[in-house]
Amino acid sequence: MIIDGNDQRLAVATALQMQQSGIQQTLAPKSSQQPDFGSGSKSDSVQSLGGDTVSIKINVPQNTIDTLQRIGNASDILNSLATNLRQTYEGLTAASALTEKMKTTLDNVVKNYPPYPVEDQGRMEQLMGYSSLRQQLQSLMLPAPPAPLYDKVKHLWDGLTGGTGSSVQVQSLPQDAPHSHVMAAAKQLDVISSQINLVQESTVNLVMRS
């Protein structure tokens, strides 16, 4: 199954929203007034219109309190999971955009025939632009997917980040780089683009099956 970047983010957001909605419905109040479940019992004093005070004692079983606390914890976990996934996808999206710009820059050099002379001013400007984009890409910190998913895509993540765990490593090219080095860097960018797509697709599939 091939899922583009927009569909992937939508699938993840939809899956997490469905999980959170189930919990939120469970916690939805049945009336405008809710008892305090912080303890097993509670006495509330209510002032009536006539000035009399009426005491109301509510007894809540301990297992009910424990259940509500567990549901609250599950909701917190899902919120944290959604936040971490969003950060991962934002980082991958930014890395993908920079990778495409770098590839376009090198294509302007590689696809020219006959090739630019190494000392050509236009060629050197293109490679300077590549170097600037490369610095941006390598300074971009990529948050890894949250633990439940990361364990299953660790091999893909390590391949993308070159073992650093948090950034994409790309070949450097000086302004006078030979044509063969420029072609090799362009091919590397194709591989990185495919790796980004693979991490996104694999993560989405794991979320949809969970």
Tell me: the pLDDT tens digits for 41-63? 444 444 544 555 655 555 667 77
Q: How much is the pLDDT for 146?
A: 84
How many other C-beta atoms can be found within 10 angstroms of the C-beta atom of residue 199? 23
Q: How much is the pLDDT for 62?
A: 72
pTM here is 0.63
Tens of pLDDT, residues 104-130: 999 999 877 777 888 999 999 999 999
> What value does the mean pLDDT take over residues 146-155?
86
Dihedral pair phi/psi, residue 47, rounded to 5° = -85, 120
> What value does the mean pLDDT take over residues 30-36?
45
pLDDT tier at 77, thresholds 50, 70, 90: low
Average pLDDT, the chain: 76
What percent of the chain stands above pLDDT 90? 36
The bridge status of strand 53-59 relative to strand 41-47 is: antiparallel
pLDDT at 5 over 50: no
> What value does the mean pLDDT take over residues 125-141?
94
Residues 6+ apart with CB under 8 A from 37: 60, 64, 65, 68
pLDDT tier at 23, thresholds 50, 70, 90: very low
Per the DSSP assignment, residues forming a β-bridge with 54 are: 46
